[in-house]
Amino acid sequence: MFDIIKKKRDGLELSQEEIQLLIDGLVAGTIPDYQISAFLMALYFRGMNDVETAYLTSAVLQSGEQIDLSDIEGVIVDKHSTGGVGDKTTIVLAPLVAAAGVPVAKMSGRGLGHTGGTIDKLESFDGFDVDISIPDFIQKVKTHQVALCGQSANLVPADKKLYALRDVTATINNRALITSSIMSKKLACGADAIVIDMKLGNGAFIQTLEKAEDLGQMMIRIGQKMNRQVAIIISAMDQPLGFSVGNALEVKEAIETLKGNGPDDLVELCLVLGANMLLFANKVKSLEEGKETLQQLLDNGTALQKFKELIQSQGGDITMVDQPNLLPCSSHSYTYNSPQSGYISQLSAFEIGRASVALGAGRITKKSKIDLGAGILLKKKIGDRVEAGEPLAILYAANQACFEKATSYLDLAYDFSDNKVTASPIIIKTL
């Protein structure tokens, strides 16, 4: 392991055998966390070329079991986000696309850095079980057209370990690590085609369009090597998606969206991602037709019904869907008021993400326990007019002490302008 770390530190290319050795040792637990962490930092700075990334993806994919969905009819299409703040897209999209008749077998992750994770969010439902066995997972997709699972011990265990270490060693945003992490999970879950929501902006792990395109092209090439179609939707993450940030708060907003009352940016993103999924699955002939089909399923309650079916099939309490006030909510709240009048010109998703972690909605160490009821409810977003002293956000936490740190991040999050400001469109580019 010393030699592998040194080789990467010095910017040299690793062989397939070396990458395999590393992943085998990681999974077997024979390489200590401090050596893996040192390797991750060397890789963060030195990067990996396409060949190394393909070897890494394949070693991570093969570190555990793979789900065979070949006896489910039709094209299995999966979606993944590169991670954002307030990103509750999967909670809406998985039942929505399933309601359109396309099977969704999705493995999701937990929070990473200042970004949230779908699995943490769904655990807001009492009883909701993400640790389902592979046969059970397959059966659920067959019966309900949708199932969501976490990374149980035998599905891509290498990514699970790397992910947890990257989260706490500031080594998340590296193209080889992001590519291998996402593609290995999608391939292990049996996806024929993959739609990636590539977040771009201060709240994302990718901050320039050039880097987003570069990462996107790499994912498309890795997908092609493995005979999978990949579409990349580059979407804005300069401000949080929707108005809620934090696990149960986001679930509540997702439920409203499934009822047809979602915020514009979230709805548009779900329709575009979903339409691409329907197109890959040959359910529609154009993206426009896909968007229309999905909008109808939101408007007529079919998507919400499918969501209830999903929650119930995995042991969750569906009374919480009908009565979202039963979902966890932290006992203390604090109203953050605007320091000045003007139009909001900046609402940094990164600072809002950090504030929500400070409130207890994310993890600070690998073992941190998150507070499902903690988070932030935004009252205003970029382009909105606000008067001095008017509420900008409501903060929720289990204890009062969290508010001081969180508000110090909020102080950095906002900028104001005397002139009208227009928020950038949610969809930036499709590859």
> Is 80 a catalytic site residue?
yes
For the stretch 70-85, what's the b/e string if a residue is b when 16 or more beta carbons lie within 10 angstroms of its beta carbon? eeeeebbbbbbbbbbb
* Stretch of residues binding ligand URA (CB under 6 A), selected from 17-25, 130-138, 177-185, 212-220: 177-185
Q: Min. distance of Cβ 172 from ligand URA in angstroms?
A: 6
Q: Cα separation of 11 and 7, whole Å?
A: 7
* Stretch of residues binding ligand URA (CB under 6 A), selected from 54-62, 133-141, 181-189, 268-276: 181-189
Place of tokens 């696990």: 247
Catalytic residue among 79, 80, 114, 161: 80
> Is 385 a catalytic site residue?
no
Q: Min. distance of Cβ 402 from ligand URA in angstroms?
A: 26
Place of tokens 């935004």: 378
**182 vs 347, which CB is nearer to ligand URA?**
182
Q: β-strand 77-81 against 385-386: which pairing, if any?
A: unpaired
CB contact set of 359 (below 8 Å; sequence gap of 6+) = 246, 330, 371, 374, 375, 376, 395, 396, 397, 402, 403, 406
Catalytic residue among 58, 81, 180, 181: 181
Q: Min. distance of Cβ 212 from ligand URA in angstroms?
A: 13
44 token code pair: 């963060």
What residue type is assigned to position 322 of the chain?
D
**97 vs 237, which CB is nearer to ligand URA?**
237
Q: Cα separation of 396 and 359, whole Å?
A: 7
Q: Which of 83, 190, 216, 360 binds ligand URA (CB under 6 A)?
A: 83
Helix (H) or strand (E) holding 195: strand 193-200
Catalytic residue among 144, 160, 166, 228: 166
**Alpha carbon 279 to its chain's center:** 22
> Is 211 a catalytic site residue?
no
Q: Which of 178, 245, 275, 311 binds ligand URA (CB under 6 A)?
A: 178
Q: Cα separation of 299 and 11, whole Å?
A: 53
Q: Cα separation of 380 and 11, whole Å?
A: 46
What DSSP string runs through 230-268? EEEEEEE-SS-SSSEESHHHHHHHHHHHHTT---HHHHH
Q: Min. distance of Cβ 61 from ligand URA in angstroms?
A: 13
* Size of the chain, expressed as the number of residues it contains: 431
Q: Min. distance of Cβ 102 from ligand URA in angstroms?
A: 21
Long-range Cβ contact pairs of 4-10 (< 8 A, separation 24 or more) = 4/39, 5/35, 5/38, 5/39, 5/42, 8/39, 8/42, 8/43, 8/46, 9/42, 9/46, 10/46
Q: Min. distance of Cβ 250 from ligand URA in angstroms?
A: 16
Contact 60, 159 (CB under 8 A): yes
**Alpha carbon 314 to its chain's center:** 20
Under the binding rule (CB under 6 A), the answer on residue 393 touching ligand URA is: no
Under the binding rule (CB under 6 A), the answer on residue 223 touching ligand URA is: no
Query: SS3 for 125?
Result: coil
Query: SS3 for 206?
Result: coil
Under the binding rule (CB under 6 A), the answer on residue 181 touching ligand URA is: yes
Q: Min. distance of Cβ 199 from ligand URA in angstroms?
A: 9
> Is 87 a catalytic site residue?
no
Under the binding rule (CB under 6 A), the answer on residue 182 touching ligand URA is: yes
**182 vs 284, which CB is nearer to ligand URA?**
182
Under the binding rule (CB under 6 A), the answer on residue 82 touching ligand URA is: yes
Under the binding rule (CB under 6 A), the answer on residue 152 touching ligand URA is: no
Catalytic residue among 79, 185, 186, 228: 185
**62 vs 108, which CB is nearer to ligand URA?**
108
Q: Using CB atoms, what's the residue nearest to ligand URA?
A: 181
Mark 97-116 with x for binding to ligand URA (rule: CB under 6 A) and - for no binding: ------------x--x----
Site size toward ligand URA (CB under 6 A) is: 9
Under the binding rule (CB under 6 A), the answer on residue 53 touching ligand URA is: no
Q: Min. distance of Cβ 142 from ligand URA in angstroms?
A: 25
> Is 152 a catalytic site residue?
no
**23 vs 177, which CB is nearer to ligand URA?**
177
Which active-site residues does the annotation give? 80, 159, 166, 181, 185
Residues that bind ligand URA (CB under 6 A): 82-83, 109, 112, 177-178, 181-182, 185
